[in-house]
């Protein structure tokens, strides 16, 4: 099995990077949609449009991309010679990826709240939460590239 993973390494890494890009795009965009959704709450037609956009972004792009990111990421973890668990960087990356996954699920819950009309988060709070994936991305990229 490890020989197979080693031979697939360039493909696995490429697919991991592509799925991360798709996932991150959604993580950056969905909170922005929430900002506009909350700020246009009085307009029923806009509310319907935002609900459709949010649902499709989450279900058709973000969920599959996050699953692919995890699958290809775990394949990389199990590829011989890629991760040295004696170093700090895999642990900082792992914590940041778990936090990114939590944020994804938090966004999914907020989408359901918006759809149900039970949202309690303001546009300003969504703007602030929109910075979370950026901060986590910085930790992940620096962990992998600089290996701090």
**Quick check: 147 pLDDT over 80?**
yes
Write out pLDDT tens, residues 113-138.
999 999 999 999 999 999 999 999 99
Predicted local distance difference test score (pLDDT) of residue 120: 95
Measured CA to CA, the distance from residue 40 to residue 38 in angstroms comes to 5
25-57 tens-digit pLDDT: 999 999 999 999 999 878 889 999 999 999 999
Taking residues 3-32, report their average pLDDT: 96
Q: Is the pLDDT of residue 2 over 90?
A: no
Quote the pLDDT of residue 1. Answer: 74
Quote the domain boundaries for residue 38: 2-145
Estimate to the nearest angstrom the gap between the alpha carbon of 1 and the chain centroid. Answer: 29
87 — alpha (psi -120 to 50), left (phi > 0) or beta? beta
Q: How many domains does the chain have?
A: 1
Which segments of 40-88 does DSSP mark as H helices, in order? 44-56, 63-78
Render the burial of 112-134: b for 16+ CB within 10 Å, e for the rest: eebeeeebebeeeebeebbebbe
Q: What is the pLDDT of residues 81-121, one digit of tens each?
A: 999 999 999 999 999 999 999 999 999 999 999 999 999 99
Q: Residue 43's pLDDT is what?
A: 86
User: What is the average pLDDT across 63-89?
Assistant: 96
């Amino acid at each position: 099995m490890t020989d197979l993973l080693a031979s697939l390494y360039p493909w696995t890494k490429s697919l991991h990077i592509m799925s991360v890009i798709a996932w991150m795009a959604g993580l950056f965009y969905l909170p922005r949609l929430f900002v506009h959704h909350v700020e246009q709450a009085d307009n029923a037609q806009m509310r319907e449009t935002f609900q459709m956009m949010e649902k499709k972004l989450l279900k058709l792009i973000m969920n599959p991309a996050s699953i692919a990111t995890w699958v290809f990421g775990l394949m990389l973890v199990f590829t011989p010679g890629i991760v040295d668990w004696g170093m700090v960087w895999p642990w900082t990356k792992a914590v940041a990826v778990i936090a990114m996954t939590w944020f994804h699920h938090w966004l999914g819950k907020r989408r359901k709240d918006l759809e149900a009309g039970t949202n309690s988060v303001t546009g300003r709070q969504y703007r602030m939460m929109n910075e979370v994936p950026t901060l986590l991305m910085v930790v992940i990229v620096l962990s992998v590239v600089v290996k701090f």
